[in-house]
Structures are given as structure tokens and as C-alpha cells.
Amino acid sequence: MDNILIIEDEQKVSEVLKAYLEREGYKVYCTA
């Protein structure tokens, strides 16, 4: 099972998820 995260550009949600993912050790890139 793949972990897939799709975010439509919602600024606050994106910031919260980016902070969470970085804390979990992900590298986060914005493609918008």
C-alpha cells in the first residue's frame, strides 16, 4: 500500500502538513 498525499493548494493546510511531514523526516517540495 502506497502512502499518497494530494493537497490542493490550501495555504493553511499545506503549512500544517509540511511542518508535520518535515518532522516525520520527509523532504517536502511544492510543485504549484
Instruction: Give me the DSSP letters along 2-31.
Output: -------S-HHHHHHHHHHHHHTT------
| pLDDT recorded at residue 29 | 74
- Show pLDDT as tens, one digit a residue, over the chain (32 residues): 687 767 676 777 778 888 888 888 887 776 76
Stated pTM of the model: 0.43
| pLDDT recorded at residue 19 | 86
> Domain containing 26: what range?
1-31
Residues with Cβ within 8 Å of 21's Cβ and at least 6 positions away in sequence, in order, are 5, 28
Q: Give first-to-last CA distance, the chain, whole Å.
A: 26
| pLDDT recorded at residue 11 | 76
Q: Domain tally for the chain?
A: 1
Length of the chain: 32
